[in-house]
Amino acid sequence: MKIVVVGGYGDIGSCVVEKLTEFSSHQITVAGRDLKKARSICSSFKGYVGALQVDVENKATLTTAFENFDLVINCAGPFYKYGANVAIAAIEKRTHYIDICDDADPLPKLFALNAAAQRAGVTVITGMGWNPGISNMAVRLSADLLGDIEDVNITWVAGSGDSKGLAALKHTLHGITGEVPVFRDGKNAKAPAWSEMEMVEFPAPLGEMPAFLFGHPEPLTLPKTIKAKNIAVRGGISPLWNNKALRVIRSLGLTRSPNRIDSVASLIHRIQRVFSVGGVEHSGLRIDIVGKKDGQDRHLVFNMIDRIRTLTAIPCAIGALMLLEGLITRRGVMAPEMCLDPVQFFDRLSDKGVKIMREGRL
């Protein structure tokens, strides 16, 4: 089958292409604004990989490009900026769609496409990465096993020497700004970004790290199918001084608009090595789920540490392959926890070498 990966030569997109070529024999096309970059990366993958020029801000290039594909995978961020453009074009071309969207902003627009996607007979999955992605599926699995869920706390800590992407940096600056979605006492709510610090324990080399409320989609998608009381996403950066630097950048008003974020992100990206001083090349994700089984208190923990690109690309590739294998039959717009079988998903993650440490008795 034929898959196009938009943003396919970016930090995460290139790893998605690598994993798809490793796990399957589908024909892959790398798409982005720079055809030269798309072509030059093709030879580094095994199997047939082609190149295509698209600009996700230009609808005409998208609909022309998506002719004759079975699946569009969208890794072109930042998603708060590009919204639902690529999903709209995929639906128009009656092509299945998966993205790794980690901003809450595009969700209302994406879910408003549900009826159009159903009419087109396609599946649109948003947030198929590490978080959102593995995070949602850990909550799905726990909800299926426990029944009652009280609190969900999703926490990521990124090693500043790990993520290399400009778009990911813009996402970070956006996620610490303004108000962010949380789910409190069974209701959608907002809270100030980069507030309510908690210390969270990760495996070595991260150890105990501070994490702050951060703008992410999970508090909006999880309550659609999972009954919980409180859901929050926190984030943090290693080394610790990066968190202070982010607070200063925000307090100077440098993250107040997408244009300002573009400028400050480009500057930081050029001197990213400075921000890596004292940091590690690994990132961590921890999901804490507190609930009850048969009236007894339960606290389940999923903990993982690896490179972000690996932890994001493997679940994305697994979601894509499960969809193309016909294991996801639901049509319309959905988050991973609404359509993927959690046991199959975690079995496949483990088969592909993603190590998840679990604590807590079921």
Ligand X SMILES: NC(=O)c1ccc[n+]([C@@H]2O[C@H](COP(=O)([O-])OP(=O)(O)OC[C@H]3O[C@@H](n4cnc5c(N)ncnc54)[C@H](OP(=O)(O)O)[C@@H]3O)[C@@H](O)[C@H]2O)c1
Per rule CB under 6 A, is residue 154 in the interface with ligand X? no
Distances in whole angstroms, Cα of residue 354 to Cα of each of 138, 270, 311, 315, 347 = 13, 31, 7, 9, 10
Binding residue for ligand X, selected from 55, 148, 262, 341, defined by CB under 6 A: 55
Choices 73-81, 243-251, 255-263, 287-295 (CB under 6 A): range interacting with ligand X:
73-81
Smallest gap from Cβ 119 to ligand X, in A, equals 27
Choose among 220, 227, 235, 342: nearest CA to 286.
Answer: 235
Per rule CB under 6 A, is residue 10 in the interface with ligand X? yes
Per rule CB under 6 A, is residue 165 in the interface with ligand X? yes
Letter for the amino acid at 336? P
Smallest gap from Cβ 34 to ligand X, in A, equals 4
Letter for the amino acid at 261? I
User: How many helical (H) and strand (E) elements, i.e. helices and strands, does the chain have?
Assistant: 15, 16
| Shorter beta-carbon distance to ligand X: residue 12 or 228 | 12
Check: CB of residue 235 under 8 Å from CB of residue 175. Answer: yes
Binding residue for ligand X, selected from 2, 33, 39, 59, defined by CB under 6 A: 33
347 vs 140: CA distance, rounded Å: 14
Structure tokens given for 57:
């801000």
Binding residue for ligand X, selected from 49, 56, 138, 200, defined by CB under 6 A: 56
Size of the site for ligand X (CB under 6 A): 36
Per rule CB under 6 A, is residue 218 in the interface with ligand X? no
Per rule CB under 6 A, is residue 110 in the interface with ligand X? no
Check: CB of residue 155 under 8 Å from CB of residue 205. Answer: no
Binding residue for ligand X, selected from 52, 78, 120, 124, defined by CB under 6 A: 78
Binding residue for ligand X, selected from 308, 335, 340, 354, defined by CB under 6 A: 308
272 vs 110: CA distance, rounded Å: 32
Choices 75-83, 142-150, 221-229, 331-339 (CB under 6 A): range interacting with ligand X:
75-83
Per rule CB under 6 A, is residue 159 in the interface with ligand X? no
Per rule CB under 6 A, is residue 83 in the interface with ligand X? no
The 3-state DSSP composition of the chain as helix, strand, coil percent (nearest 5) reads: 40, 30, 35
Give strand pairing partners of 232.
153
Beta-strand ranges (E) seen in 128-214 are 148-159, 179-184, 187-192, 198-201, 208-213
| Shorter beta-carbon distance to ligand X: residue 290 or 328 | 328
Beta-strand ranges (E) seen in 9-86 are 27-32, 49-53, 71-74
Binding residue for ligand X, selected from 4, 7, 71, 124, defined by CB under 6 A: 7
Check: CB of residue 86 under 8 Å from CB of residue 93. Answer: no
Letter for the amino acid at 243? N
Per rule CB under 6 A, is residue 352 in the interface with ligand X? no
Binding residue for ligand X, selected from 9, 97, 111, 346, defined by CB under 6 A: 9
Applying CB under 6 A, which residues contact ligand X? Answer: 6-7, 9-13, 32-34, 37, 54-57, 75-79, 100, 102, 127, 129-133, 163, 165-168, 171, 308, 312
